Structure 1
Amino acid sequence: MNDDGTDAEVVIVGAGLAGAATAWRLAQRGVDVLMLERTRPANAEGSSHGSARIFRLAYDTELYTRMAVAAGDGWAELEDTHGEPLITWTGALGFGDRREAPKVASWLQCAGQPHELLSEAEAARRWPGIEFRGPVLWHPGAGVLDAERAVEAMLRASQAAGARLLTDWPVERIERTPHGFLVRSSAGDAVRARRVVVAAGAWLPMLLPGLPLPVSLLPAFEVRQENAFHFPYRDNRNSPEDASWPTLINMSREIVLYGLPGGRDAQHRGQKIAEFNGGRRLSSASRRDGVVDPANRARVVDFVRRRIPGLIPEPYAETTCLFTNTPSEDFVIDAWEGLTVVSACSGHGAKFMPEIGRIAADLTTGAGKAPPQFQVFLA
């Protein structure tokens, strides 16, 4: 316990990607941090499990392109500390009649990042297992992030700097006190903190009634149970070291779909393919049942059969995960009188976590503000 009676200078609710990243960045600055995780870090009930998330630099806005470049430096920093790679570099392809490839390329150009704009014919020659329509953007600075190992690496780095972690500690509500906050668990336990960071992912909407902040200013959150399918490579030659298959972003009027080489949990045998926001809506994260939506499976299988001939259109594995979306798909990273909210990453936040952790640490310590797109509270 600290001299002022608090159990920690900063309590972080949630030890998934966002919570672990914030703890890492705060602990690096010498801040006394206590993390509270409802079950176990990177557990299958949340959004940070599994070994395959896309890391890419290609976005159609300056903000996200700049953040992705900065996050890449952060991942390299963490890999140096961790001693093992967290990203497998594969490059990335973006295509589809809704993908503004020239605009995305312009932001990569501004950021000084290598890229190529290719015709359908040139892209098909280089990647014959994929059918392209329209211009194709290729950039090599992309790959597959191992989410679970990233969480583990950030937790180890933060704990080495003095942060602490309590597991099986489900937070029920947070109360203001004269000296900060009292964080209460559903089991009746409590800890005191000067400041609090809520990084609860898909569990944030359930926590809102118990948070001492103006929740009416927050956007409407949508929780989805997303489905992902692993399709075997037709040539059966891929291995974890084989980068012949890149990550994919198809944005078309037909379907918005992403793909990436599958990770450890799918035996590296194929490509992980999913429809972006194709899963069913949930009233809360606790409603997740892990049952794959057969209609969504049929849509994805149909697309693979028609447009990705290099894959066998029969999934050998499938899984579900949780997305927590905002209406704009922008993140929520903002603070209100000592309580910082870091959540709702709208299905594309994993790649940014070293930078999201830095922004959250700045907010929590008063060293800086979040970009305006992420702010929700009135100053």
Structure 2
Amino acid sequence: MPERTRFVVVGGGVMGLAAAWELSRRGERPLVLERFARGHTRGASHGATRNFNNAYAEEHYLDLLTRARTGWDALGEVEGEPLLRLHGLVSHGAGATLGGTGGGLVEVERRLRERGIPATLLDPADAARRWPGMRFEDTVLHSPDAGVARADATLRELERRIVAAGGEVRWETPALGIDEDADGVTVRTDGGAIRAEVVVAAAGAWTKALLTGIRLPRLTVTEESPAHFTPREPGSPWPSFNHFVTPGTWPAPVYGMPTPGEGVKVGFHRVGDEVDPDARPFRLDAHAEMLAAYVREWMPGLDAGTAAPISCTYTSTDDDAFVLDRRGRIVVGAGFSGQGFKFAPGVGAVLADLALDPAALAAPAFRLPA
């Protein structure tokens, strides 16, 4: 006889764990299945830090960010420190057209202020005085209520809370297939079948292979290789940052953040080679020379010769929009396009809504193709 439970969450990265935590907060006891061991580096959730970037103009992202912030606040402190380090974010660059509104950073500042989120436009000279390790040529948007999320600590805390509420996270248990019928869903594993009322699929780079019966948007898996660089002046102030470079000058926009004990992370956004997630080369030098050249030109406070590259994956939709929807008894969370971690508690809440209520809907921008 198959094992039976009400909710199975496939994927033990931050999105799957956030969905399971939210289900547990609502009185459920979800079972999470993760294909790799605890602490693995094969997906998109590992590492010490992720950018907590609130520089959005789109209403659906700002709504989701508001819901996420409620979740982050509920998680509170872990190991004596908040999971969010709010040291501020600066966004700058001639290529800034955030939100598709045509207004760039000025429009983002207006949208943030409308929601009561602190935001200030600075001239380049003022910004350079505040953050002397960076170079600015255009208007700078400063968002003080932003910074970084402590990624590894977040995963540990989500698992702790799921288990404390009676749920389970089962590591090294790949889902081999998901089969829906009129009475429920069967998840096939090497250890046998598991029957559930609803399955939440948050499988990251493995989503397409797992959900063969659902019409998904194109999901492209790439291997990205940002790097940590050592500051020249220990103790110098570093914000998180977005640099929307002039088109044609660098391969892509640049993001980054300080990671205590490791340096300042700098990376090009979504420039990696497309890969098979089961056969990744873990190549670290794909853009190393270009990234060091960028640091020399734009980040004089970092030693460009100290790059310590890291590898992670993006699973991206063509327009970078998330997928949050339900088909039958299967809930889908996918396509977070290298910008999802900060939204995780909000995404988890939406996925829980969809799992508990077949009539629930995410924002139109996040829904599956009809």
TM-score normalized by the length of structure 1: 0.90
Cα distance between partner residues in 2 of 1:377 and 1:278: 26
2:99 aligned partner? none
Q: Deviations over 1:306-332 (max 9, x none)?
A: 111111111341111000000110101
1:373 partnered with 2:365: yes
| Cα root mean square deviation, aligned | 1.8
- Once the two structures are TM-superposed, the CA of residue 72 in structure 1 deviates from its matched residue by 1.8
Alignment-mate amino acid for residue 239 of structure 2: P
Instruction: Calculate percent identity across the aligned residue pairs.
Output: 35
1:204 partnered with 2:215: no
Q: Deviations over 1:80-109 (max 9, x none)?
A: 588642122210000011211101101111
Cα distance between partner residues in 2 of 1:84 and 1:42: 20
1:250 aligned partner? 243
Of the three residues 312, 325, 340, the one matched with 1:321 is 312
Of the three residues 112, 123, 127, the one matched with 1:123 is 127
2:100 aligned partner? none
- Once the two structures are TM-superposed, the CA of residue 40 in structure 1 deviates from its matched residue by 2.3
Cα distance between partner residues in 2 of 1:306 and 1:298: 13
- Once the two structures are TM-superposed, the CA of residue 196 in structure 1 deviates from its matched residue by 0.4
1:51 partnered with 2:48: yes
1:180 aligned partner? 184
- Once the two structures are TM-superposed, the CA of residue 206 in structure 1 deviates from its matched residue by 2.5
Cα distance between partner residues in 2 of 1:151 and 1:290: 22
Of the three residues 285, 290, 294, the one matched with 1:293 is 285
1:73 aligned partner? 70
Of the three residues 253, 256, 269, the one matched with 1:276 is 269
Alignment-mate amino acid for residue 221 of structure 1: L
Q: Deviations over 1:154-194 (max 9, x none)?
A: 11112211111211111111112342011102x26211111
Cα distance between partner residues in 2 of 1:43 and 1:70: 28
SS state at 1:176 partner: strand
Alignment-mate amino acid for residue 140 of structure 2: V
Cα distance between partner residues in 1 of 2:268 and 2:126: 26
In 2, are the aligned partners of 1:49 and 1:147 still within 8 Å (CA)? yes
2:221 aligned partner? 223
2:329 aligned partner? 338
- Once the two structures are TM-superposed, the CA of residue 42 in structure 1 deviates from its matched residue by 4.5
1:214 aligned partner? 214
Cα distance between partner residues in 2 of 1:118 and 1:191: 55
Change (3 A) 1:368 1:84: farther
Change (3 A) 1:373 1:188: same
Cα distance between partner residues in 1 of 2:328 and 2:211: 16
Alignment-mate amino acid for residue 217 of structure 2: P
Of the three residues 6, 9, 20, the one matched with 2:6 is 9
In 1, are the aligned partners of 2:180 and 2:329 still within 8 Å (CA)? no
Q: Deviations over 1:328-372 (max 9, x none)?
A: 101011100010011110000000011000000000111731111
2:192 aligned partner? 189
SS state at 1:287 partner: coil
Cα distance between partner residues in 1 of 2:81 and 2:131: 29
Cα distance between partner residues in 1 of 2:28 and 2:221: 32
User: After the TM superposition, which segments of 4 or more aligned residues of structure 1 sit over 6 Å from their partners?
Assistant: none
Change (3 A) 1:321 1:81: closer
1:124-163 mapped onto 2 (5 Å cutoff): 124-163=128-167
Cα distance between partner residues in 1 of 2:302 and 2:280: 29
In 2, are the aligned partners of 1:116 and 1:138 still within 8 Å (CA)? yes
SS state at 1:285 partner: coil
Cα distance between partner residues in 1 of 2:55 and 2:156: 26
Alignment-mate amino acid for residue 349 of structure 1: G
1:75-90 mapped onto 2 (5 Å cutoff): 75-79=72-76, 84-90=81-87
SS state at 2:333 partner: strand
TM-score normalized by the length of structure 2: 0.92
**Gap runs ≥5 in structure 2:** 97-103
Change (3 A) 1:315 1:65: farther
Of the three residues 55, 60, 65, the one matched with 2:57 is 60
1:262 aligned partner? 259
1:307 partnered with 2:298: yes
Alignment-mate amino acid for residue 214 of structure 2: P
Alignment-mate amino acid for residue 341 of structure 2: A
User: How many residue pairs get matched?
Assistant: 358
